[in-house]
Structure 1
Amino acid sequence: MNRESNSYTFIFAIGMVVIVAFLLAFASTSLKDRQGENVEKEKMQNILKTIGVDVERDAAKEKYGDYIKEELSLNADGSVDENSEAFEIDLNRELKLPVEEQHFPIYIAEVEGEKFYIVPLRGAGLWNAIWGYVSLKEDLNTIEGVNFDHAGETPGLGAEITTSWFQAQFEGKKIFDENDELVGVTVAKGSGTKGDNAVDAISGATITGDGVTAMIKERLSHYLPYFKKERTQ
């Protein structure tokens, strides 16, 4: 075949596309197990971070069992669903279901004899999804720590929710007000000095901050039946 012809160029291009597609598919299939394992380790790492256990991703799986004593999947009424694995719950999928059909994972940890409850979070930022975890002390009111991440917030603005300075503000904050009503934690300008239920916002990232505020309150609201049972024991 004439290598200078259009037909040769066309056939060559098709051949290259097929070869590259095959190699990409092969690589994706070959690495699937490793990718899944890395996602699992990162999830464990982020859960542990909320209780002050800061470990490298590769060490997270080994340390996870030392601190996480229970993984519970809750129904909307606060009861435990024994047929659902908490760690395997995908909040992105759950949020598409009616509330009464959703499962609500919660992790119970113990650090130096102190008990903590860790709740996964998921909401909406400015451009895409935001998510994370919040750990509560045994009173189920005081925040021990948080960990946030995002899919596409603006660097230097909304993406700052992943920084330690922003997340550190939540430590010691309360999710209930003085009337024992769930209010979560409000992210707003100048709120850092306004009491137990607020933190300072990120300058220029109002919508992302509002997303964090809404995410915390909305997710925690579904745990109230369980919290009520635990607090009365």
Structure 2
Amino acid sequence: MKTNSNSYTIIYSAILVLIVAFLLAFVSKSLERKQNANIALDKKKQILYSLNIRNITNEKAEAQYKKVVEADEIIDENNKVLSPGAVGGENDGFTLNSADQKSGKLALFLCRVNGKRKYVIPLYGMGLWGPISGYISLNEDKATVYGVYFNHESETAGLGAEIKDNQSWQEKFQGKKIFKTESAKSISLSVNKKVEDATTQVDAVTGATLTSNGVTDMLHSCLEKYMVFLNDK
């Protein structure tokens, strides 16, 4: 075959594409297990961060998660247990995502920190430029915030990204109430430019009003799915 012919160029290009595609697929498959392990580890660390367990190595995070998480339950909006989960669970509530939450399958992490019961609930919402997410941990009363951790995909560095990067801002949620009163029918916990109720409100991130509003909407929309659970004292 003539090397300067059109048919040679087409065949050569096709073979090259097939070889490259095969190599990429092989590398992707080879790294899949490690990638999944890293994703799972990051998720465990976020759950631990919401429980105020931070600044730990990957190895210690794995051990702490197994020690602290007593079950990764799946419940529905009527507080019916769909799956009991397991100690250090990774196969039940741990595997759920935002689509599962929307469909009514709710992840609930039953944890114990320093001998005291804590509940961790995953959060999903929208910021200014894309999805935001996180975890909120509640004390045994199911009404007081023990800790939070927020994450994002594309918020502006130094502004909206502060919901993830600013630990001191996340710490402002500690001790806040999620209801105004014990008989409240909706979530009151919010992020505001002007704090009028120090028991349920946190200062907005400076210069990131829309992202802060997104955090409030996320807290309300997600926690309200757990209302039956939260009111079951």
- TM normalised by structure 2 equals 0.86
Give the 3 Å change call, closer, same or farther, for CA 27–190 of structure 1 in structure 2: same
Give the 3 Å change call, closer, same or farther, for CA 13–157 of structure 1 in structure 2: farther
Aligned 8 A contact 1:142 1:172 in 2: yes
The aligned residue for residue 147 of structure 2 is: 145
The aligned residue for residue 188 of structure 1 is: 192
Structure 2 alignment gaps of length 5 or more: 86-91
Aligned counterparts of 1:159 and 1:92: Cα–Cα separation in 2: 24
Instruction: Give, as a single letter, the amino acid of the residue that structure 1 aligns with 2:34.
Output: R
Instruction: Give, as a single letter, the amino acid of the residue that structure 2 aligns with 1:116.
Output: K
Greater Cα offset, 160-169 or 13-22: 13-22
1:2-17 superposed matches below 5 A: 10-17=10-17
Paired residue for 2:96, among 83, 89, 102? 89
Aligned counterparts of 1:53 and 1:216: Cα–Cα separation in 2: 21
The aligned residue for residue 170 of structure 1 is: 173
The aligned residue for residue 105 of structure 2 is: 103
Over aligned residues, Cα RMSD in angstroms? 2.1
Aligned 8 A contact 2:143 2:230 in 1: no
Aligned 8 A contact 1:42 1:60 in 2: no
Percent identity between the two aligned chains: 35
SS of aligned partner of 2:154: coil
Aligned counterparts of 1:202 and 1:35: Cα–Cα separation in 2: 32
The aligned residue for residue 201 of structure 2 is: 198
Aligned 8 A contact 1:44 1:64 in 2: yes
The aligned residue for residue 79 of structure 2 is: 78
Aligned counterparts of 2:53 and 2:69: Cα–Cα separation in 1: 11
1:200-215 superposed matches below 5 A: 200-215=203-218
Give the 3 Å change call, closer, same or farther, for CA 11–204 of structure 1 in structure 2: farther
Aligned counterparts of 2:37 and 2:183: Cα–Cα separation in 1: 41
The aligned residue for residue 115 of structure 1 is: 117
Greater Cα offset, 59-68 or 26-35: 59-68
Structure 1 alignment gaps of length 5 or more: none
Give the 3 Å change call, closer, same or farther, for CA 94–142 of structure 1 in structure 2: closer
Instruction: Give, as a single letter, the amino acid of the residue that structure 1 aligns with 2:96.
Output: I
Aligned counterparts of 1:171 and 1:23: Cα–Cα separation in 2: 49
SS of aligned partner of 2:81: coil
